[in-house]
Chain A
């Protein structure tokens, strides 16, 4: 078990940490309450609050960096939130390397995407409300990562769920958006129940929900409880991060505006599951089975995502499945335990940069093409969208792990660590992760080829409302964030690797245990192997897509695997058969029971009361003589009863 760091009270610059979430919260409040009056400047306020939070985050980051590593874990207790019985919940923040890393990612990428949205949402009448909800999301996400207890975590967890629901359903006039929002909400709910029960279990067994106390005392828990908590936390993480078996909502969530997809459903919120497992590593450290299940879930998901990504033609859905797959890598990493927590966070950061950049690029393409998402209608766009093409291309290279770009550093180290596991685990995890790397190279190359190269298929086509396509580069307010993120795609991996992100995270997630000895595949051979497999994927993509004419209509007669992948590997069908149908049957049975059993009883009772009321009513004759008689009768009874009581 890793040593727990000493927790010190936050002073100096760090005591400003409340500003981190207070600034966007203020923005959200103003934007959502001020109404139309704020329409003209609302979006600027939205950008400014998040940028301000980023500056505060930077200040605190440098302040923390100046401290010794064992003094970098600090707490800022703001006020007592509530106290019920023995449950005392602080509204407190935990400022440590892990939370600061997330703060910088959320506010940094968040500020860029806010800026991008100024351009992207320029013609949307609800732009101010959009920024309000985006600010709400940033607030909730910061509370999630900054809280120093599980209740704060849960508050943020539900907050981001709400913001995500609102923003997926942004285009309210589209039934598909409403359905997607509902689906996301419901599937997240399943995970949230797991998280809630895990928190209840911690409370009943330990009597506290503060991180410091919980992590110090997890050793007191019995093995079974520990495993249960680990699995329930994992269920919560799977819901939020779109992991198997709850992955089906994430691709549908692309119905939201593209900046939302970039910020919430690629860079930040969907990585909350990884955060949760890294944050509670003290629990997983003690539970080998729990960790193994995390790794298995991660491996299954990274494979599913990569396979389905190969079959879709919707540019955003391909990117979404790519996200599912990449988060699978992160889960695999944190599932490897002390050998992988820091690597998972590392990949999370680099992925945050290049995936957000890719989504913004996709948004820029859609912006140019009348919100068209079908890649079969694109083609040869590189000449028309040079900035988009270059930034997107860099993100693409980073994602497939092109040597010395971001993804190369983070993904390869995860695969290395996976291969270094003992026994069958090394072979299975490492092998499948490598295979998925090849698939990733394939589907991303296919995406780039179909979008930016080849024949300009849109020339012969018209938009839904009968106009010609006129692709054009996006305005500077959109391209600048793309350029910044592209720089991150190039350099983040190398820089973070060079400055020692892994050591920086050590106080929060423990020292990284380097793989010892020889695992399944020699240590030094792994990078070569991964690069080779990825190159193979690129080559196959070029051979099958690049050299052929891409049909505008999607071919109907395709092989079985492609058909399965197009139908999300039947995830929706499985969910419907296993969950939805039995649920409907159960409700029907309950309704039947309710109608016949419960209602029968209730209605019978009501009829009885009504009947007796009708009969009793006749006693109220309206004659004063009978009233007097009833009073007399009552008095005689009262007197008689009293005397009977007293005299016996």
Chain B
């Protein structure tokens, strides 16, 4: 007997395909990339994956451009799960451009023969000794094919990148907390894996991946717990409903703010804001440098995109309650980043601490619940993303026989040996320090101006002091490069291949361009506010 249950007619929510196209292209390409991994022979995968990733990002950018060109009003789609409004479009554009730069870095095989990625993720540090610093004589790369064949790399990194990027794009567009949580996981899981893929220093890389995974899971739990409490308060996970509920109800504020605190902790973790930053230096150092670049640029954009949306849409009305606490968080982050950066000896760790300080600056912009705050923060993300991408790309060029020369002492006298590389690095470091004529200056200016306009002058003063302190360690690298005698057995600078060159050029040009004519991007960033 067939028992027919009463099936509720589920009607599919209307979907605006035009608005969703960039996201769908990226996620679709990610699925295709998985199929490529499964069905293509190993030697064909690399060119196909690279072509597919670049084409997907280009196509997504094209659809985004077409959609933006039709001057859309912001709206929500798929039953209110996603919002495609002006900030979303800006963040998508930023993410796609930064993603393209990262893919170029990941795809480069000329800097490190065979690419920066291990051939098999399971291989540990080989039997070269207990240290994970030496290049193993029995290279695990060569376990595939004949020894004279060019070393291969793990091409799974391309679908990982696309999935992570798709997750990030969903993350910044999510209109309810549940979607946001799923997007958080979609972006995080590939990143955990990518961290462990470094070809050299296997143990360090795998350690970083495990740490990142454990702490990320911990933070996700916070986020989920906060989500649950807020649902208990508002009866909905939609950001606008939370805002309405918080505006006037007799329900317990404890529930709301405990939920808010937990939720924000989860988000701040992703943005590597102190004191939830502890994973950052280890992971930045251990991950393969192209992945570090991807994380440093794109994850920051995604995390702060989401923080902006949550703070503005859901918690804009209650800002007087939570702002004091976030002030403290911003100060802690800036102080930790600036002060701890002073004594770092590894350049990747140094940039990690710099990113913690920058997260504090960004938080100032995100806390300013004004249109100016939104546009300044968006602009900051764009500027910072490109500078960071280029910084890591340059770091990947300075090498010894054992791989990248990340110890600061190895950078001594680089200005004499390879003036172009040193000059590029010096320019990018000046941008991170916020010197005029670079995007770092205009971005800081915009964020600090927004902060002052929204009544956060004391915080801005602290931020200025912190950026002065942070300037020290950027300038120290420049002094080291130009005013120290080069070490006798110093690192060599690899001539970058076309991909890395393109990524560096992109980063440097945008850093310069946004420093000279910031209005290009600022106008776009201030095109419209959040819609929810």
Contacts and interface: CB of A to CB of B under 8 A. Distances in A.
A620 B281 contact: yes
A51 to B, nearest CB: 41
A645 interface: yes
Interface in A594-648: 606, 609-610, 612-614, 616-617, 620, 622, 624, 626-628, 630-631, 633-635, 638-639, 641-643, 645-647
B231 interface: no
Contact of A624 (B211, B332, B336): B211
Contacts of B448: none
Interface in B89-132: none
A643 B325 CA distance: 10
B282 interface: yes
A631 B339 contact: no
Nearest to B253: A646
B262 A614 contact: no
B324 A641 contact: yes
A645 B321 contact: yes
A635 B254 contact: no
Contacts of A614: 343
Contacts of B276: 631, 634-635
Contact of A639 (B258, B281, B324, B328): B258
B83 to A, nearest CB: 26
B254 A643 contact: yes
A633 B254 contact: no
Contacts of A610: 342-343
Contact of A638 (B215, B218, B329, B339): B329
A609 B282 contact: no
A229 to B, nearest CB: 35
B339 A613 contact: yes
Given A613-B343, A617-B340, A633 B275 contact: yes
Contact of A622 (B282, B336, B341): B282
A441 B503 CA distance: 77
Nearest to B269: A631
Nearest to B225: A635
Contact of A645 (B282, B325, B342, B472): B325
Contact of B214 (A620, A628, A635, A641): A628
Contacts of B342: 609-610, 613
Nearest to A621: B278
A642 B275 contact: no
Given A631-B278, A638-B325, A646 B339 contact: no
Interface in A189-213: none
B354 to A, nearest CB: 14
A366 B339 CA distance: 68
A610 B338 CA distance: 11
B254 A620 contact: no
Contact of B218 (A631, A641, A647): A631
Nearest to A606: B472
A640 to B, nearest CB: 9
A395 B219 CA distance: 93
Given A613-B340, A617-B343, A645-B321, A635 B265 contact: yes
A interface majority secondary structure: helix
Contacts of A624: 210-211, 214-215
A610 B472 CA distance: 11
Interface in A258-293: none
A635 B261 CA distance: 7
B192 interface: no
B251 to A, nearest CB: 13
Given A609-B342, A647-B253, A647-B254, A642 B282 contact: no
A639 B281 CA distance: 25
Contacts of B328: 641
A294 to B, nearest CB: 44
A446 B253 CA distance: 103
Interface in A499-535: none
A613 B466 CA distance: 13
B479 to A, nearest CB: 14
Contact of B275 (A617, A630, A641, A645): A630
A633 B218 CA distance: 13
Contacts of A647: 253-254
Nearest to B212: A624
Contacts of A620: 278, 281, 340
Nearest to A626: B278
Contacts of A630: 275, 278
A634 B281 contact: no
Given A617-B343, A646-B254, A634 B265 contact: yes
Contacts of B279: 627
A129 to B, nearest CB: 27
B135 interface: no
Nearest to B214: A624
A609 B466 CA distance: 11
Contacts of A634: 265, 275-276, 332
A639 B214 CA distance: 22
A646 B214 contact: no
A643 B281 contact: no
B258 A643 contact: yes
B499 interface: no
Interface string B325-353: 10011001000100111110000000000
Nearest to A625: B214
A198 B341 CA distance: 49
B380 interface: no
B230 to A, nearest CB: 13
Nearest to B222: A635
A114 to B, nearest CB: 39
B418 to A, nearest CB: 28
Contact of A627 (B211, B329, B339, B469): B211
A391 B448 CA distance: 71
B262 A639 contact: yes
Interface in B436-481: 469, 472
A629 to B, nearest CB: 9
Contacts of B262: 635, 639
B322 interface: yes
Contacts of B281: 620
Given A620-B278, A638-B264, A646-B253, A628 B343 contact: no
Interface string B206-222: 00001100110011001
A609 B258 contact: no
Contacts of B211: 624, 627
A108 B210 CA distance: 83
A442 B261 CA distance: 96
B380 to A, nearest CB: 23
Contacts of A631: 215, 218-219, 265, 269, 275-276, 278
A626 to B, nearest CB: 8
Interface in B311-330: 321-322, 324-325, 328-329
B284 interface: no
Contacts of A638: 261, 264-265, 325, 329
A641 to B, nearest CB: 5
Contacts of B269: 631
B392 interface: no
Contacts of B254: 643, 646-647
Interface string A548-565: 000000000000000000
A638 B218 CA distance: 16
A638 B265 CA distance: 8
Contacts of B321: 642, 645-646
Given A641-B324, A642-B325, 8 more contacts: A609-B469, A616-B339, A620-B281, A624-B210, A628-B214, A642-B322, A645-B257, A646-B321
Closest CB pairs A-B (n = 6): A634-B275, A627-B278, A639-B261, A613-B342, A613-B343, A642-B257
Interface of A: 606, 609-610, 612-614, 616-617, 620, 622, 624, 626-628, 630-631, 633-635, 638-639, 641-643, 645-647
12 contacts: A609-B339, A627-B279, A631-B219, A633-B275, A634-B265, A634-B275, A635-B222, A638-B264, A641-B325, A642-B258, A642-B260, A642-B321
